Amino acid sequence: KLKVPSAAGERESESAWLKTTRLGNGNTTTLHFYVHDVRAGPNATLYGVANSSITATSATSFGQINVFDDRVTAEADINSEEVARAQGLTTSSDLQIRAVTMNLNFLLKSGEYNGSVISIAGRNQVGDPQRELTVVGGAGAFRYARGYAITSTYANDVEANYSILEYTIYVTTYSDAIAAAAAGLSSAI
């Protein structure tokens, strides 16, 4: 569904997984979707690329570095609409608790934000029921983004090496004109 601009200059755009409200000089976007993390097999989307000298004996896999390119869907079903890819890396970085340092980019692949990126970084204590991560920036429609993400493990099948992670991301950006001016593109407006 798409609401057209009102007389007050407000515009809302929404679908089942994304809603943007534009008021004044800012845009607030909420995204809700599911990341499918396949850790083994012919369709794996996560690969280990390095280990420290103690990774094999560490209870927290300390020093393990993984890269991933996960399918992101609007619903928990892996066969539902693909709306993005989750791409990045994790490093097991705590000697005491299972936690990773994440560099995560959501490359949106659907709708008016197709090709835009939301960048997230931070500590993810994977055993906690809910985790909060920081939105540190973005590209395209999410230039100058700031905000946070709440993630939780929706499902985890240890035998199949497959997890579904649920994400809700709250992002604030400047309006298009302000973002373009801040980037030195005011002549393009």
Residue 59 lies in a domain: yes
Residue 28 lies in a domain: no
The number of folded domains in the chain is 1
Residue 131 lies in a domain: yes
Q: Which of 22-36, 46-60, 66-80 has the lowest mean pLDDT?
A: 22-36
CATH number for the domain spanning 60: value is 2.40.480.10
The percent of residues in the chain predicted with pLDDT above 70, rounded, is 84
Q: What is the mean pLDDT of residues 108-113?
A: 90
> Using one digit for the tens of pLDDT, what is the confidence trace for 28-49?
999 999 999 999 999 999 999 9
Q: What is the mean pLDDT of residues 124-142?
A: 96
Residue 175 lies in a domain: yes
Residue 7 lies in a domain: no
Residue 18 lies in a domain: no
Residue 16 lies in a domain: no
Q: What is the mean pLDDT of residues 125-140?
A: 96
Distances (CA, A) of 175 to 2, 10, 84: 18, 11, 23
- Residue 80 domain boundaries: 33-188
Residue 146 lies in a domain: yes
Q: State yes or no: pLDDT of 5 exceeds 50.
A: no
